[in-house]
Amino acid sequence: MPTLFAHKIATLNRRRWLAAAAGLALGLAGLSNANAADDTIKIGILHSLSGTMAISETTLKDVMLMLIDEQNKKGGVLGKKLEAVVVDPASNWPLFAEKARELITKDKVAVVFGCWTSVSRKSVLPVFKELNSILFYPVQYEGEESERNVFYTGAAPNQQAIPAVDYLMKEEKVKRWVLEGTDYVYPRTTNKILEAYLKSKGVAPADIMINYTPFGFSDWQTEVSKIKTFGSAGKKTAVVSTINGDANVPFYKELGNQGIKATDIPVVAFSVGEEELAGIDTKPLVGHLAAWNYFESIKTPANEKFIKEWHAFTKNDKRTTNDPMEAHYIGFNMWVKAVEKVKSTDPDKVIDALPGIETPNLTGGIAKMLPNHHITKPVYIGEIKANGQFDVVWKTPGLVPGDAWSKELEGSKDLIGDWVGKKCGNFNVKTNKCLGSDS
Amino acid sequence: MAANAFDRIRSIVLSVFLTVALTVPALAGAFEDGVAKFANDDFPDTEEAIGLVANSGNPLAFPIISALQDDRLSADPDTKKVYITRQDGKIIDAATGAPVDKLPDNAASVRLNNRLRRSVEAALGSLTLLSPDPAKRIAAARSVFKSHEESALPVVEGALAKETNKAAKDAFAEARAAILLNTSGISDADKLDAIATVKARGDQEALALLTDLSDQSPLVTKAAASAISSIQSRLAVWSAVQNAWYGLSLGSVLLLAAIGLAITFGVMGVINMAHGEMVMLGAYTTFVVQDVIRTNLPGLFDYSLFIAVPLAFLVAGAIGVLIERTIIRFLYGRPLETLLATWGISLVLQQAVRTAFGPTNREVGNPSWMSGAFELGQITITYNRLWILCFTLAVFAILLAMLRYTALGLEMRAVTQNRRMAASMGIATSRVDALTFGLGSGIAGIAGVALSQIDNVSPNLGQSYIIDSFMVVVFGGVGNLWGTLVGAFTLGIANKFLEPVAGAVLGKIAILVLIILFIQKRPRGLFALKGRAVEA
């Protein structure tokens, strides 16, 4: 290696040499800087601040800054101050991987909080595995994954989709189902799970209609009138919406304009929260539903305190709070507890310490990190109110543990994730074998 | 006015009271029990309360139920007292009707869920069947048609007997038919009549009612099946009409988004990737105008769009001129650099808006004349889509007239056809370039005002229209406004006829493939510009 290096140096011309020397000097300076700042623990924040996903992810960056700020006011962690390192992956999936690598290798962060879309999570996964770091992922997702380096603080399908369908079946006596989604991995997997679940509950295939629309779809006239027609077959009909982000506003506007009221055909959404409703006139939408593990309107002392701090931190008392923000709140507190338990930020130690850690959530319950790296969550069904908030009309009796692998799907019903006993993310309980990383 | 309205409501309630009192013997105390149950904040209790109050015949029943529907009914969980906040802001005790100074501090509005909302609608339906306002009677009859509660039959029949308004009479007859069809022990002859009435109505709800029938005699089942198939075939025709309308509407949106590009790209030949951002700036101008109006002059809200249109034109146009003067004019004739530079500008503008207004959606309201829909036969036409179609055609006509009849239009055409000749005739070509680009951008801004009514106002708004806009301009024929018009409507209608068959995703792909094939055959689009147009 040194000879090769010498050879390379020899072949460099003078100007390059200078540049390289300067680079080296800078690098050394950076290194010594890192040493000097050793009394802080760095936390990476990997959320898009520009591009399509900025609409959702910017808020999560802000809430992380707030949580870190609060923790520092309490004296930091292990006697060290926390320092946030914010990068902008600009809604660009390959850039997520690059920025993650930069955070871990260059900034030497102890943990990363980030990602929103599943494709961004899939893109950073190899980086976290290779460099052995920790990612907290705060968004509800399609499941079918349990990785050693990732902690999933959002809902798995059994913590959102299935309870929502149960509610509609029991309370609204829904017999006919429209599964309407944006065309990408989360809606497709969720709908596959829901379809299998509905069929297992005796719903005829003719009573299930599945539609997909492209990202950012804005002309909903045909789709909405299709829903209207499907809903007039005499049986109570509901729409289960996995429509993503931007397409929701024109969808709901069209529903309102075509006069589809929640009393006729209720729509239950998994991606519409307080933030999304902020852009819509909600009066025609009163009664449509959303399933989440947190709503801003839930009255608990912890939640009231959180909202107050949020308003103070953002200096804007109109900023709403939402479910992924609570997920980061839980994830951050879990990480702090784990680090304090093992008195180290070493990823291996923290990863082993996290399962079993319990921390209060904002709705009065206790979130517990499970061996499959998912957490326990309550499930709430909220109805949209005229003021753009949700009114909780139903909740699960207790906390629901997140399933990494869906029990409804043929390929995954025998799998479990267990990073404590089996040290495996996809352990097949039938064959007693770990499938390993290649499947 | 308010007092007058209240008196009228009182008279309705009294008349309902009389009819209900004749048919259902009111239970003493049931009303008070019912009202108290509202305070329990428990959905089953509230449901029971609605039933008790609605059937009590108490004159306060109507105010209570309608307050419940509008979120104006509140209850104090400690004292179990229930209050109505009347539309004029006065507060009364729901159980006694006595005026109250103000709501207790811990009074919270009575909550509803969807099932309760349906009960409320049904209850209100039977309470307003005798309203003096025919529109209200029709609405009430419709909600009875939907709920077909057997208990409403005597009131419906009474109302039907003395109804004089034609539309209301039909609505009552349909409501009666719906009840009869769902009541056991009715003779087949009556049921067949009822099916004929429902069949004559012939819409989706009629179809739903007939499909839902069960446990009928064979004769009735057969009649229902034939009515269903006749309604279905009629609806199929209407659905074709509906697709055509949706196509026109989508076409108008495409045209509106593309029309500015038809100037900057079509006429000037500038590949302007920042075109979508001009649309977005127009939408944000609308937001700012509405925001100012909301806080300062709420009465003007219905006119907000009229104020926003010229402002959006000015804002987007001015930024367009600025971009042309500072960047694009150095890049004429270098399409690749223009493409990259304008792409950069689009990112800069997006991020600037994101920094100024935040990354989340901004609420732009629909003025009252743009909300809602009306029925034309069996299809629903929403006002916002209809107005956007009219608006687009108006913008198109004005632009065409401008190019044809004004001095600036003449200069623009001259410069784009032969720049050097135009310059030697004394036209200040660089000034004309700037104004043309400004015009194209300004029109994109106007498009933003209209699109803010149907899409979300976020920094990403423009991106969703840029591809479609280029598609329309290229398909229609670069440099020809009429081509843009025909191109937009062709694409819109083709898209909407493909969508129900192929689904939204495949439909879009199919359209793209068709356009690619078309361009292979006719590289210059539908209406190729003939003659001596000089390419850059």
User: pLDDT (tens digit, 9 = 90+) per residue, B338-382?
Assistant: 999 999 999 999 999 998 998 878 888 888 888 878 888 778 888
Chain B residues inside the 8 Å CB shell of A52 = 460, 463
Contact between chains at B382 and A257 (C-beta distance less than 8 A): yes
Place of tokens 């935040």: B358
- Where b means 16+ CB within 10 Å and e means fewer, B481-503 reads bebbbbbbbbbbbbbbbbbbeeb
Q: Which residue of B has its CA nearest to A281?
A: B365
B138-147, B223-232, B251-260: segment of lowest average pLDDT? B138-147
- Mean pLDDT score of chain B, rounded to an integer? 85
Chain B residues inside the 8 Å CB shell of A386 = 71
- Sheet of strand A237-242, all strands in order from the earlier edge strand to the far edge: A208-213, A176-182, A237-242, A267-269, A289-292, A380-384, A390-395
Beta-sheet pairing, A150-152 with A135-137: parallel
Which of A 406-435 lie inside 8 A of B, CB atoms?
none
B252 touches chain A (CB under 8 A): no
CB A188 within 8 A of CB A401: no
A276 touches chain B (CB under 8 A): yes
Q: Comparing B126 with A334, which gets the higher pLDDT?
A: A334
Residue B283 main-chain phi, psi, to 5 deg: -65, -40
CA distance A123 to B45: 51
A299 touches chain B (CB under 8 A): no
Q: Which pLDDT does position B103 carry in this prediction?
A: 83
For the stretch B248-299, pLDDT in tens is 999 999 999 999 998 888 778 888 999 999 999 999 999 999 999 988 888 8
Q: Which pLDDT does position B236 carry in this prediction?
A: 87
CA distance A413 to A430: 10
B408 by Cβ neighbours in 10 Å (0-12 / 13-18 / 19+) ranks as: middle
Instruction: Return the SS3 of A156.
Output: coil
Output the six-digit token pair for B407: 């001095």
Q: Which of A258, A262, A383 has its CB closest to that of B380? A: A258
Chain centre distance of CA B391: 16
- Mean pLDDT score of chain A, rounded to an integer? 87
- Where b means 16+ CB within 10 Å and e means fewer, A401-434 reads ebbbbbbbbeebeebbbbbeeeebbbbbeeeeee
Contact between chains at B361 and A218 (C-beta distance less than 8 A): no
Which of B 495-524 lie inside 8 A of A, CB atoms?
496, 499-500, 503-505, 508
What's the per-residue H, E or C state across B34-89? HHHHHHHCCHHHHHHHHHHHHCCCCCCHHHHHHHHHCCCEEEECCCCEEEEECCCC
Instruction: Return the SS3 of A64.
Output: helix
Q: Which of B115, B209, B250 has its CB closest to that of A171? A: B115
CA distance B347 to B358: 15
Contact between chains at A212 and B496 (C-beta distance less than 8 A): no
Average pLDDT, integer, range B148-157: 81
ipTM over 0.95: no
For the stretch A366-399, pLDDT in tens is 999 999 999 999 999 999 988 888 999 999 988 9
Which of A 215-234 lie inside 8 A of B, CB atoms?
216-219, 221-223, 225-226, 228-229, 231-234
CB A367 within 8 A of CB A330: yes
CA distance B316 to B311: 8
CA distance B43 to B36: 13
* pLDDT category of residue A28 using cuts at 50, 70 and 90: very low
What share of chain B has pLDDT > 90, as a percent? 29
Q: Is the pLDDT of residue A14 over 70?
A: no
Q: Which pLDDT does position B371 carry in this prediction?
A: 81
Q: Which residue of B has its CA nearest to A246?
A: B456
Q: Identity (one letter) of the amino acid at B282?
A: G
For the stretch A125-142, pLDDT in tens is 999 999 999 999 999 999
CA distance A119 to A189: 13
Q: Which pLDDT does position B10 carry in this prediction?
A: 53
CA distance B409 to B392: 20
DSSP assignment of A198-262 equals HHHTT--GGGEEEEEE-TT----HHHHHHHHHHTTSSS-EEEEEE--GGGHHHHHHHHHHTT--T
Q: Which of A59, A223, A233 has its CB closest to that of B208? A: A233
CA distance A354 to B260: 56
Q: Is the pLDDT of residue B24 over 50?
A: no
Interface test mutation site (partner A, options B204, B460, B506, B512, max chain A beta carbons within 10 A): B460
CA distance B241 to B416: 41
Q: How many CB atoms lie within 10 A of CB A337?
A: 16
CB B39 within 8 A of CB B75: yes
Contact between chains at B503 and A279 (C-beta distance less than 8 A): no
User: How far does the CA of residue B490 sit from the closest CA of chain A (Å)?
Assistant: 16
A119-133, B209-223, B346-360, B428-442: segment of lowest average pLDDT? B209-223
